[in-house]
Amino acid sequence: MAKSGITFNPDRFHKNQWRFHAFLIVLSLFMGSPIVFIFNHAFKPFSELFAYPPTFFVRRPTTENFSRLIRFSSESGIPISRYIFNSVITTAAVIVASLIISSLAAFALSKLEFKGKIVLNKINTYSLMFVPIAVMIPRFLVLINIGIYNTYFAHIIPLLAMPVGIFLIKQFMDTSVPKELIEAAKIDGAGNWRVYWSIALPLVKPAIVTVAILAFQIAWANTEGSNLFVDKESLRTLPFYMSTVISQQGNIVVTAGVGAAAQLIMFIPNIIIFIIMQNKVMASMAHSGIK
């Protein structure tokens, strides 16, 4: 659509858009400043961590904070590589299993007809109101009774139910998977499993990627399993170690640099995954509200 030869939504930069782009640049600098600070803070020497007035950028970068973090881990008897291994294993399992469960449930609630469908859909929606701490005791009792306390499953099982994942994928399926396409596939002899795998999943890839990122963030930063469901140090995860390393040393001033290094290590995987998959996330957010 054009007016007086000017395109309102041009494919390339137009000189009349400079104000809008200037605003976006300023906004990006403002939004990105915490990320820049996290990277700079982790490489600051002790003298700069408590300098007054505080400095935003590091002047004499050092890796001493990371070296001390590794030494603290070795002194505790469990190398930091063990915590990383536990986090990678449990996070990968949570991502894969939660995607399977969420996509299957979303497909059933969106495209299948069965008794109790409306009730189940409302239950899933209402469950978004509950915070994890509200079901902590029931979770603990269930894990004890099914015999997975002090196992890797204690980290994985409590995180598999993702109401927000089911909601996002269902919303995407409602708008992106037409019933006519499913009916045509069934006329050709495709069953529900074939429709789910060959038709529904390829059309909702942006929602799948978004849920995968959410599952990663939940599992990667989770400390509940290591705090409540596991008492073996060799089974605990990296977030638990990072959250306790400073308190274990007893001197917050001395270990401030270690805490900064720990925050950076926990943050890097999140930003990398989001940068790689941001296009799919934006597409999911755009389609989830379309009726």
In a 10 Å sphere around its CB, with 0-12 CB exposed, 13-18 middle and 19+ buried, how is residue 236 labelled?
buried
Domain 80-288, classified CATH 1.10.240.10, yes or no: no
275's CB contacts (< 8 A; 6+ apart) are none
Whole-number Å distance between alpha carbons of 236 and 155: 9
The pTM (predicted TM-score) of the whole model is 0.81
Q: What is the pLDDT of residue 259?
A: 80
Phi, psi (deg, nearest 5) at residue 222: -75, 130
Give me 134's structure tokens: 């509200």
DSSP class of 5: T
Count of CB atoms situated within 10 Å of the CB of 152: 16
The structural domains of the chain, with segments of one domain joined by +, span 80-288
Helices (H) and strands (E) in the chain, counts: 15, 2
Q: What is the pLDDT of residue 123?
A: 92
Q: What is the pLDDT of residue 41?
A: 87
Instruction: Write out the H or E segment, with its range, that includes residue 246.
Output: helix 238-249
Per-residue pLDDT 10s for the chain (291 aa) are 444 444 455 566 667 777 877 888 888 888 888 888 888 888 988 888 877 788 888 888 888 888 888 877 777 677 888 888 999 999 999 999 999 999 999 999 999 989 999 999 999 988 888 877 788 888 889 999 999 999 999 999 999 989 999 999 998 899 888 888 998 998 888 899 999 999 999 989 888 988 999 999 999 989 888 988 998 888 999 888 888 776 655 556 557 788 888 888 888 888 888 888 777 666 655 555 444
